[in-house]
């Protein structure tokens, strides 16, 4: 079994070194790592073949295999991803504000790295280079623990990154890989107190829940999205239809896709048939409450569980509500605090919705699909936090940092 | 045993109501609560007498009894504390930044309450009104669990605050009290997942450690301070002496007091006798390494444990170091990431210290005693965070908040 304490110690030392690097040097190292990934395309593809062969052996779905599959183009995209991270502004060192207090002390609030970040993730190998480069740029050492499906691909990728760092006379322990996909080791990583400053799980609800249940290190909860679109009585039919079709069907497997449609009773009879027709083109299964059931041509009754489920599929729960208040109450009861949207022409309805709905991102007249670090303009995304502590919503580089107060005195002591 | 789930449910509902209140109304309620505390001075003193009688029975030290003791003046100070919180700027609702993204969406990052805050604390009854008013002003419901020494005082204080809220037709569940000081109930509070958005322990190292070990809800670690003063070879003797005497002796029982003095070998022989004499006036016990031992008139050998100990007493560990690097290494190894200070005339030494020392507050030429929300100018303090996630250093109102993204669209969906 991997000696996680050893990994933790190495990570702490590397984190200290990394925290002292200037931006210029960090960028040079990142660009060198990107080049090495591209240069080693052949060996990466070879390792990826092992994962794919194993996937076929285990009769893993074609969709999953596609996620796993690397090509020359995809490897080149991974390298470009690292280069994009190099091009981002470095948050470390920035003094957010500085002021003089009553004692004449100059007090500055400066951005510093968190230290050592653990990441537990599933399937896609590109998460390896994404996460490694984002942690590196923000001055953090990282311990990566990927899923067993992509084990060989992840392992070779980290080994290339480490060799690149070594070739540049920098500690390879800034980016480490847990080369053991056992449950026990994952649990040890979740309880690596004293070494991990934060653990970020990236993956499905079952992974997130396992981490929340077991972890004793600080965790940033990401990704589960039971998102709603509420169509108000003052909504425009075309806009409402476009938004719900986009939120449900553009990419149903992602966390910012919509799972439940709430619609005001005054427009249900007019709107739902049009929406049903549009969703039919994507063969969306409708799970409806009694009133919606009576309007739809084809739907099944929704169960209590459906309101709380993140389908991540072409399935939509639909409920007719009597008022905006009822819609907000339903959302605050069942949502996972991710992304919620109202479609309405009414000024006061949208303002009330934005104010009263409790979620990381609340929209008026836009698809929930926009909740994303790149779309928001952060230039990167390590995940979408659905908790309230430390970071909420799409997390870019800044969310991977902490602060410290630097205080310039001239001999002051306290009276 | 107290039904914490019931308290949690009530808190969540009250938090939602409280989150919707305007600043003006919150301030009115705070001022009314302050008045009620003053009006009920007699009953508060009566309850406090019970705690004091119990303390005497249990032969609790005079210092502890003094902490526990309420007087008319102290109750009036508590009421004034609430009024000061009312006078602070309200962080809730503030849109920190707002921008238009490439899709034409207006994205704003808005301050919102955390929700429900749990606070576990010891002895002083004034923490009850302090914490309650800070949580209330920042829009959070609070569940307070004080120590058994101050049980009757805390209970009457919360009951007065609750009655004040009820008299103003507001939910009394915004401020709740765990009227059971058993260990089991404390443990239940630490695992009240789904109800507590954060738990803040305020007290000694043993309380903090117990919470860190048991809690499964998010925690903000506060208060443990193994703080260092490093006297560089280019330090001024008078400034160095003033700062170390202040940091050690002005109030040795608090977390920002110094526990270890590190001194450069080049000035040890000249400086330590002067410093010893100054510390002698406060009868400070010196626990010294071999070199310092040889210089001091009266000291005992320091043990390995002493370097890691927060004495909170008139005891100072002293070590002679060969270089600034050695001082920084020692600090980063033994400190609790609270407050650290260098005394030096040398520009590069101070800059290196500010950069490389890992702590919430790092000082050049000032006493560590300044780490404090009031001194920093935040107008309040709920505690001093020694962790890196969410908040670091003195925590004011802003640290009791989260954010949400509010997004104004005009029909956008994602391509």
> Tell me: the pLDDT tens digits for A173-199?
999 999 988 989 999 999 998 899 999
Q: Which residues of chain B make contact with A375, given a CB cutoff of 8 A? A: 101-103, 414
* pLDDT at residue A299 tops 80: yes
For β-strands A339-343 and A315-321, DSSP reports them as unpaired
- The shortest C-alpha distance from B395 to chain A (Å) reads 12
Chain A CA closest to residue B403: A392
Of B126, B144, B121, B145, nearest in space to B68 by CA: B126
pLDDT digits (tens, 9 = 90+) for B95-118: 999 999 999 999 999 999 999 999
Cβ within 8 Å, pair B366-A402: no
- Any idea which of A210-214, A312-316, B52-56, B233-237 has the lowest mean pLDDT? A210-214
Q: Which of B13, B22, B105 to substitute to test the interface with A, most A CBs within 10 Å? A: B105
Spatial CB neighbours of A85, under 8 Å, sequence gap ≥ 6: A30, A133, A134, A136, A137, A380
- The shortest C-alpha distance from B57 to chain A (Å) reads 36
pLDDT digits (tens, 9 = 90+) for B398-415: 999 999 999 999 999 999
- The shortest C-alpha distance from B331 to chain A (Å) reads 13
pLDDT digits (tens, 9 = 90+) for B59-86: 888 888 888 999 999 999 999 999 999 9
- The shortest C-alpha distance from B198 to chain A (Å) reads 8
Mean pLDDT of A229-233: 98
Who among B16, B375, B412 is closest to A366 (CB)?
Answer: B412
Cβ within 8 Å, pair B402-A388: yes
Cβ within 8 Å, pair B371-A408: no
Cβ within 8 Å, pair A365-B411: yes
Q: Average pLDDT over chain A, rounded to whole?
A: 95
Chain A CA closest to residue B92: A355
* pLDDT at residue B123 tops 80: no
HEC letters along chain B:
CCCHHHHHHHHHHHHHHHHHCCHHHHHHHHHHHHHHHHHCHHHHHHHHHHHHHHHHHCCCCHHHHHHHCCCHHHHHHHHHHHHHHHHCCCCCCCEEEEEECCCCCEEEEEEEECCEEEEEECCCCHHHHHHHHHHHHCCCEEEEECCHHHHHHHHHHHHHHHHHHHHCCCCHHHEEECCCCCHHHHHHHHCCCCCCCEEEEECCHHHHHHHHHHCCCCECCECCCCEEEEECCCCCHHHHHHHHHHHHHCCCCCCCCEEEEEEEHHHHHHHHHHHHHHHHCCCCEEEECHHHHHHCCCCEECCHHHHCCCCCCCEEEEEEECCHHHHHHHHHHHCCCCEEEEECCCHHHHHHHHHHCCCCEEEEEECHHHCCCCCCCCCCCCEEECCCCCCCEEECCHHHEEEEEEEEEEEECCC
Who among B112, B216, B389 is closest to A198 (CB)?
Answer: B389
Q: How far is CA B386 from the centre of its chain?
A: 9
- The shortest C-alpha distance from B52 to chain A (Å) reads 31
Q: Which residues of chain A make contact with B370, given a CB cutoff of 8 A? A: 103, 105, 407, 409, 412, 414
The pLDDT score that the predictor gives to residue A216 is: 84
* Cα(B205)–Cα(B216) distance, integer angstroms: 19
pLDDT digits (tens, 9 = 90+) for A108-127: 999 999 999 999 998 789 99
Torsion of CA B189, B191, B193, B197, to 10 degrees: 60
* pLDDT band with cut points at 50, 70 and 90 for residue A64: confident
The pLDDT score that the predictor gives to residue A1 is: 67
Q: Which of A399, A405, A408, A410 to substitute to test the interface with B, most B CBs within 10 Å? A: A405
Cβ within 8 Å, pair A392-B403: yes
Q: Which of A141, A221, A250, A411 to substitute to test the interface with B, most B CBs within 10 Å? A: A411
Q: What percent of chain B has pLDDT over 90?
A: 89
- The shortest C-alpha distance from B301 to chain A (Å) reads 28
The pLDDT score that the predictor gives to residue B206 is: 85
Cβ within 8 Å, pair B16-A332: yes
Burial A108-145 (b: 16+ CB within 10 A, else e): bbbbbbbbbbbbbbbbbbbbbbbbbbbbbbbbbbbbbb
Cβ within 8 Å, pair B402-A389: yes
* Cα(B404)–Cα(B95) distance, integer angstroms: 9
Cβ within 8 Å, pair B239-A101: no
Q: Which residues of chain A make contact with B112, given a CB cutoff of 8 A? A: 358
B148: number of Cβ within 10 Å: 15
Cβ within 8 Å, pair A411-B364: no
Q: Which residues of chain A make contact with B102, given a CB cutoff of 8 A? A: 375, 377
Cβ within 8 Å, pair B404-A239: no
Q: Is the dihedral of CA A301, A307, A313, A316 positive or negative?
A: positive
Chain B CA closest to residue A345: B410
List of long-range contacts for B57-63, beta carbons under 8 Å, 24+ apart: B60/B149
Burial B167-204 (b: 16+ CB within 10 A, else e): eeebbbbbbbbbebbeeebbebbbebeebbbbbbbbbb
pLDDT digits (tens, 9 = 90+) for A26-52: 999 999 999 999 999 999 999 999 999
Give how far Cα B76 sits from Cα of B35, B134, B373, B379, Å: 9, 17, 21, 18
- Burial of A303 from C-beta contacts in 10 A (0-12 / 13-18 / 19+): exposed
Cβ within 8 Å, pair A410-B365: yes
User: In degrees, to the nearest 5, what angle opens at C-alpha B123 toward C-alphas B120 and B128?
Assistant: 60
Spatial CB neighbours of A89, under 8 Å, sequence gap ≥ 6: A379, A397
* pLDDT band with cut points at 50, 70 and 90 for residue A237: very high
The pLDDT score that the predictor gives to residue A62 is: 84
Chain A CA closest to residue B238: A411
Q: Which of A101, A252, A407 to substitute to test the interface with B, most B CBs within 10 Å? A: A407
The pLDDT score that the predictor gives to residue B1 is: 67
HEC letters along chain A:
CCCHHHHHHHHHHHHHHHHHCCHHHHHHHHHHHHHHHHHCHHHHHHHHHHHHHHHHHCCCCHHHHHHHCCCHHHHHHHHHHHHHHHHCCCCCCCEEEEEECCCCCEEEEEEEECCEEEEEECCCCHHHHHHHHHHHHCCCEEEEECCHHHHHHHHHHHHHHHHHHHHCCCCHHHEEECCCCCHHHHHHHHCCCCCCCEEEEECCHHHHHHHHHHCCCCECCECCCCEEEEECCCCCHHHHHHHHHHHHHCCCCCCCCEEEEEEEHHHHHHHHHHHHHHHHCCCCEEEECHHHHHHCCCCEECCHHHHCCCCCCCEEEEEEECCHHHHHHHHHHHCCCCEEEEECCCHHHHHHHHHHCCCCEEEEEECHHHCCCCCCCCCCCCEEECCCCCCCEEECCHHHEEEEEEEEEEEECCC
Cβ within 8 Å, pair B242-A218: no
Q: Residue A233 — φ and ψ, nearest 5°?
A: -65, -25
Q: How far is CA B107 from the centre of its chain?
A: 34
The pLDDT score that the predictor gives to residue A223 is: 79
Cβ within 8 Å, pair A389-B114: yes
For β-strands A401-412 and A198-202, DSSP reports them as unpaired
Partners of B287 in the β-ladder? B300, B317
Q: What is the CA radius of gyration of chain B?
A: 24
Cβ within 8 Å, pair A403-B393: yes
Q: Which residues of chain A make contact with B362, given a CB cutoff of 8 A? A: 404-407
Cβ within 8 Å, pair A414-B246: yes
Chain B CA closest to residue A337: B404
Cβ within 8 Å, pair A412-B370: yes
Cβ within 8 Å, pair B101-A239: no
Chain A CA closest to residue B413: A367
The pLDDT score that the predictor gives to residue B166 is: 98
Cβ within 8 Å, pair A389-B388: no
- Burial of A411 from C-beta contacts in 10 A (0-12 / 13-18 / 19+): middle
Give how far Cα A351 sits from Cα of A341, B140, B221, B300, B404, Å: 12, 21, 36, 68, 14
Who among B197, B350, B405 is closest to A393 (CB)?
Answer: B405
Please compute, for residue A198, the number of CA atoms within 13 A of its CA located in the half-sphere on the CB side.
27
Q: Which of A194, A406, A415 to substitute to test the interface with B, most B CBs within 10 Å? A: A406
Q: Which of A220, A357, A414 to substitute to test the interface with B, most B CBs within 10 Å? A: A414
Chain B CA closest to residue A394: B405
* Cα(B93)–Cα(B96) distance, integer angstroms: 9
Who among B197, B360, B371 is closest to A388 (CB)?
Answer: B197
The pLDDT score that the predictor gives to residue B223 is: 79
Of A77, A51, A81, nearest in space to A64 by CA: A51
* pLDDT band with cut points at 50, 70 and 90 for residue B204: confident
Of A290, A315, A286, A283, nearest in space to A300 by CA: A286
Q: Average pLDDT over chain B, rounded to whole?
A: 95
The pLDDT score that the predictor gives to residue B266 is: 98
The pLDDT score that the predictor gives to residue A214 is: 86
- The shortest C-alpha distance from A11 to chain B (Å) reads 15
* pLDDT at residue A205 tops 90: no
* pLDDT band with cut points at 50, 70 and 90 for residue B200: very high
Of B131, B268, B270, B258, nearest in space to B199 by CA: B131
Is the distance from CB of B160 to CB of B40 less than 8 angstroms?
yes
Q: Which residues of chain B make contact with A404, given a CB cutoff of 8 A? A: 358-362, 392-393
- The shortest C-alpha distance from A90 to chain B (Å) reads 16
Length of chain A: 415
Q: Which residues of chain A make contact with B367, given a CB cutoff of 8 A? A: 412-414
Who among B388, B407, B413 is closest to A115 (CB)?
Answer: B388
Domains and CATH numbers, chain B: 4-222 (3.40.605.10), 227-370 (3.40.309.10)
């Amino acid at each position: 079994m991997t000696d996680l304490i050893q990994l933790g110690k190495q990570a702490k030392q590397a984190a200290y070194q990394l925290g002292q690097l200037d931006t210029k040097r960090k960028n040079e190292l990142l660009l060198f790592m990107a080049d090495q990934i591209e240069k080693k395309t052949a060996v990466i593809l070879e390792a990826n073949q092992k994962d794919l062969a194993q996937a076929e052996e285990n009769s893993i779905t074609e969709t999953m295999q596609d996620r796993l599959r690397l090509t020359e183009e995809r490897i080149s995209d991974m390298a470009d991803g690292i280069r994009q991270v190099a091009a981002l502004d470095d948050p470390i060192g920035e003094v957010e504000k500085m002021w003089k207090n009553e004692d004449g002390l100059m007090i500055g609030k400066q951005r510093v790295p968190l230290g050592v970040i653990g990441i537990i993730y599933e399937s896609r190998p590109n998460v390896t280079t994404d996460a490694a480069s984002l942690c590196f740029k923000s001055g953090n050492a990282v311990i990566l623990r990927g899923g067993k499906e992509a084990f060989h691909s992840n392992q070779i990728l980290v080994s290339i990154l480490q060799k690149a760092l070594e070739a540049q006379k920098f500690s390879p322990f800034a980016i480490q890989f847990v080369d053991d996909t056992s449950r026990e080791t994952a649990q040890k990583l979740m309880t690596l107190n004293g070494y991990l400053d934060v653990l970020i799980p990236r993956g499905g609800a079952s992974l997130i829940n396992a981490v929340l249940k077991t972890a004793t290190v600080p965790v940033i909860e990401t990704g589960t999205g039971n998102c709603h679109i509420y169509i108000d009585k003052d909504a425009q039919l075309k806009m409402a239809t476009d938004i719900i079709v986009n939120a449900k069907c553009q990419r149903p497997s992602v966390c910012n896709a919509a799972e439940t449609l709430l619609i005001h009773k005054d427009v249900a009879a007019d709107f739902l048939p049009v929406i049903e027709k549009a969703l039919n083109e994507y063969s969306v299964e409708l799970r409806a409450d009694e009133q919606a059931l009576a309007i739809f041509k084809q739907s099944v009754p929704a169960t209590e569980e459906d309101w709380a489920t993140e389908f991540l599929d072409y399935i939509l729960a639909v409920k007719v509500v009597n008022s905006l208040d009822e819609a907000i109450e339903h959302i605050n009861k069942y949502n996972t605090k991710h992304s919620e949207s109202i479609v309405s022409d009414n000024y006061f309805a949208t303002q009330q919705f934005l104010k009263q709905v409790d979620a990381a991102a609340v929209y008026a007249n836009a698809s929930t699909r926009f909740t994303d670090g790149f779309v928001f303009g952060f230039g990167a995304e390590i995940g979408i936090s659905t908790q309230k502590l430390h970071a909420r919503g799409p997390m870019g580089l800044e969310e991977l940092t902490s602060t410290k107060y630097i205080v310039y005195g001239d001999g002051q002591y306290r009276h």
